[in-house]
Amino acid sequence: IREWQFHAKQIASGKNFESTGGFGPWMVTADEIKPNQELKLVTRLNGVVEQSSHTGHMIFPIAKLISYASTIFTLVPGDVIATGTPAGVGWSRKPPKFMKPGDVCEVEIEHIGTLVNQIAAQA
């Protein structure tokens, strides 16, 4: 799947195969997050913090992303807008660091929750 990330100018094609874009087990509604609230983002791999940032470091504010997307698409409840990742991705490290089968990846967003996935080999 990783090879698909480099087939186009945007790597999204390699991140959207079935079973590769985990969400849940819950989502929050807009009334649960204050407008312009900066939410802490943490990614852990096997318990080690690999990325730590907050939404205030995003290139575009979340409200602007929603506004822009809604000029192109009709947004309905349940839609998800992928916003990218904080600094610290594994492939840009020296040496590169990639997840492997058996690794456990945790992605935590303050006030939303923590998503935990075990990495599996490609079938």
pLDDT digits (tens, 9 = 90+) for 52-96: 999 999 999 888 999 999 999 999 988 888 888 888 888 888 998
Domain count of the chain?
1
**pLDDT tens per residue, range 84-117:** 888 888 888 899 898 999 999 999 999 889 999 9
Please check whether residue 70 lies inside any domain of the structure: no
Structural domain containing residue 87: 25-57+83-118
* Structural domain includes residue 48: yes
Strands laid side by side in the 113-118 sheet = 48-54, 40-45, 104-109, 113-118
Neighbours of 43 (CB within 10 A): 19
Residue at 18 is within a domain: no
45 domain residue, yes or no: yes
Residue whose C-alpha is closest to residue 11's, from 84, 120, 108, 119? 84
Residue 39 counted as domain residue? yes
Residue 76 lies in a domain: no
pLDDT band at 43 (very low <50, low <70, confident <90, very high): very high
CA distances from 80 to 62, 83, 102, 122 (A): 12, 9, 27, 25
Tokens at residue 21, please? 């874009």
The answer to pTM > 0.85 is no
